[in-house]
Amino acid sequence: MTGGSRYIPFIPLLWAAGFSLSAHAQTPDAKPKAIIGEATAVDAASRRLTLKADQGEAVEISVVESASILRAKPGATTLTDASPWSLDQITVGDRVLVRGARVDATGSFEARQVVVMTQGDVTSKQEAERADWRRRGVLGVVAAVSPTSSEVTLKVRGIAGQSLTVDCTGHDIAIRRYPPDSVQFSDARPSTLAEVKVGDQLRALGQKSADGMRLTAEQIVFGTFRTVTGTVVAIDSSSNQLTLRRDNSKQAVTVVVGSQSRLRRLTPELGVRLGRIGNREDTASPPPNPPGGGERAWGRGPRGAGGGEDLIERLPAATLAELKPGDRVLVASTEGTDPDRMNAIALVAGLETLVAPSGRGQRPAEIGLPAGLMDLGMGIP
């Protein structure tokens, strides 16, 4: 749940407005119809909007004179508290739901109802939710799952040699799972405890016990992630892909860098500082590698550092164009259907700046790498 993830807040309102997500898949002449997306252009004078629908298509919207236009707050389950809004108040970047019908074979759409969630409102809600996950959430690697007691045992960073128990007995727990090859939190799909397995990364939100060793879950997000370090051997800018030679196996892997991927770079100064953190962590006794070896991301990190999610947000942004053959990078992704292909959730370049542990041999996979940077798969929703 990555920082690059995008919150999609309209789903409860779909039912309140009397239509569902499946409405978008209806035939062109089906009525009623709903489209959800982001405003990319607004022409209030001609009563027209352009939306980039969540399904990926650009849709031209004509808003009829009699259309109701409302502003709703993110998270609202009804339109009861929605306030009147106008076309000239809609701005690029706002989340917009329109209800109406297709008017011709070209795909243009006539809207009879427009519901807006402003970019500012959505951002504020995202920030509040992220703060709540930081305050009341836990992140770790699944060490055990008990179907009979509905409990999950996590190995959690910052709790050396101990485990945390997640109580999943509540009836209203929202459980989501990152599907294979997904790259953002909005890709997560409803799931069940039965799909959680040992080695998965799991983030849970809820009430912690007084000793901090047990959490009664309200929300759970989990997935199977992998983290690979390697050397760039080729870059294909036309397809937004690069080829890595893995550190541990020397085999090649293709990395797809999409619009939602977070690219960061370690500067030499940061490399020295983080390398020192990694070297200090090496003096402790880490937990054994989870199933799958070093490519499975442990949810550990230096105390007080906030783990990989906070670390990556502090790093300078990078672009694919800045990478070159010979760069050492770290890539985090969900476990995909093709072991030789990764859809990057996060990519960190500049690993060559990290300082190797003094007096030790060169480790093949993560020389001086802080454990927190191995925690990039499961971002905060």
- Dump pLDDT digits (tens) for 114-142: 999 999 999 999 889 888 988 999 988 89
- Which residue did the predictor score with more confidence, 375 or 324? 324
Indicate whether 281 pLDDT > 60: no
Banded pLDDT at 66 (limits 50, 70, 90): very high
Per-position DSSP letters for 61-109, written without gaps between them: EEEEEEEEEEE--TT-SSSTT-EE--GGG--TT-EEEEEEEE-STT--E
Residue 205 in this model has a pLDDT that exceeds 90: yes
| Top-confidence residue, 300 or 36 | 36
In this structure, what token pair is assigned to residue 24? 């978008």
Dump pLDDT digits (tens) for 215-251.
999 999 998 888 889 999 999 999 999 999 998 888 9
> At CA 369, angle to CA 366 and CA 370, rounded to 5?
145
Mean pLDDT of the chain: 77
pLDDT value, residue 38:
94
Q: Are 81 and 74 in contact (CB under 8 A)?
A: no
Model confidence band, residue 278 (pLDDT cutoffs 50, 70, 90): low
pLDDT, tens digit, 9 for 90 and up, residues 169-193: 988 899 999 888 887 777 789 999 9
Is the pLDDT reported for residue 24 higher than 80? no
pLDDT for 275 = 61
Q: Is residue 311 very low, low, confident or very high in pLDDT (cuts 50, 70, 90)?
A: low
Does 164 have pLDDT greater than 70?
A: yes
Cis-peptide into 302, omega within 30 deg: no
- Specify the pLDDT at position 88: 96
Residue 379 in tokens: 């971002």
> What domains appear along the chain, each with residue ranges and CATH number?
11-117 (2.40.50.320), 126-224 (2.40.50), 226-374 (2.40.50.140)
Q: Among 11-20, 179-188, 240-249, 296-305, which range has the highest average pLDDT? A: 240-249
Q: How many CB atoms lie within 10 A of CB 14?
A: 18
pLDDT of residue 10: 47
> pLDDT tens digits, residue range 78-115?
899 999 999 999 999 999 999 998 876 666 899 999 99
pLDDT band at residue 309 using 50, 70 and 90 as cut-offs: low
Instruction: Please report, for residues 117, 133, 212, 218, the alpha-carbon distance to residue 208 in angstroms, rounded to integers and kept in the order given.
Output: 32, 12, 6, 11
First to last CA, the chain: 4
In angstroms, the CA 116 to CA 73 distance is 8
Cα 44 → chain centroid: 34
Q: pLDDT tens digits for 316-359?
A: 899 999 999 999 999 988 888 898 999 998 899 988 887 554 44
Let me know: does 81 contact 70? Beta carbons within 8 Å.
Answer: no
Segment holding 236, helix H or strand E: strand 225-236
As a whole-number percent, the residues of the chain with pLDDT over 70 amount to: 71
